[in-house]
Structure 1
């Protein structure tokens, strides 16, 4: 289940949803937040844009591939768009599975591919400037392991 939305999300609510499958013994989540600094510069806000339809399809493809690779119970991805302030939640990735190793691997896989293949555009607003953010080399390297 995926959502692209401007509204914030409740980590507690999402964890409850992941936790209602008695067969699953593991739940792994990742929450990404807006940092106050990047590349040594102070960030004031972060603007995330997307192309409706294309973004959701890219996220569905990533989740479907995770389900194909691992035996997962539930998968939940939420990604926010719009203007976000420092400390705001950006992304939630959660998976449930019978075993923890599978859940950890699948969550990392989804996040690694989301950073490199999902159709989002990020603009950092600085005190006196703004800049578009491209995929980092470290994110590309992390995605290659899959």
Structure 2
């Protein structure tokens, strides 16, 4: 079992070997994430796919650029999985993969999958994972607009308008 130290709460967070966390430049695969969340004890796997959309607040977007502080982001992902298991103790697998770099409209930027015996817990845990990731992980995005301008969106902006994050 691997242990990570967090800078924020200074607790040891065990990463279970059946979980999978990644920050990558490579395109994300729904099939791969699903297979990593699969387990014979599951009755449900819920997958959330975050994609680059073509507008923000009516302003045309042509691309997003993601950056992350990878070591800390991976610790946050492990912490999210630990929190999920404290809230839904029958969760079998937690998978969180986030892409970095420049992504075009329609590309997948984040995949979260949760596998467990019951669908209601899988849905709740998956939503908890993505919402917590958006608020806590050191991942930033830069929106590139059709008019040639761009702007970084901070994690704190998710608290003010979570539907835009």
Q: TM-score, normalised by structure 2?
A: 0.79
Q: Which residue does 2:41 correspond to in 1?
A: 23
* Structure 1 residue 16: Cα displacement: 2.4
RCO comparison, higher one (Cα < 8 Å, 6+): 1
Are 1:129 and 2:149 matched, yes or no? yes
User: Aligned match of 2:107 in 47, 72, 88?
Assistant: 88
Structure 1 outlier segments of 4+, above 4 Å: none
The within-5 A match list for 1:1-146 is: 1-19=20-38, 21-70=39-88, 71-126=90-145, 127-134=147-154, 135-136=157-158, 137-139=160-162
Count of residues paired in the alignment: 139
* Structure 1 residue 78: Cα displacement: 0.5
Q: For the residues of structure 1 that align with 2:119 and 2:41, how far apart are their CA atoms?
A: 13
What stretches of structure 2 of length at least 5 have no aligned partner? 1-19
SS where residue 53 of structure 1 aligns?
Answer: helix
Q: For the residues of structure 1 that align with 2:57 and 2:32, how far apart are their CA atoms?
A: 34
Q: TM-score, normalised by structure 1?
A: 0.89
SS where residue 85 of structure 2 aligns?
Answer: helix
Say what the alpha-carbon RMSD is for the aligned residues.
Answer: 1.4
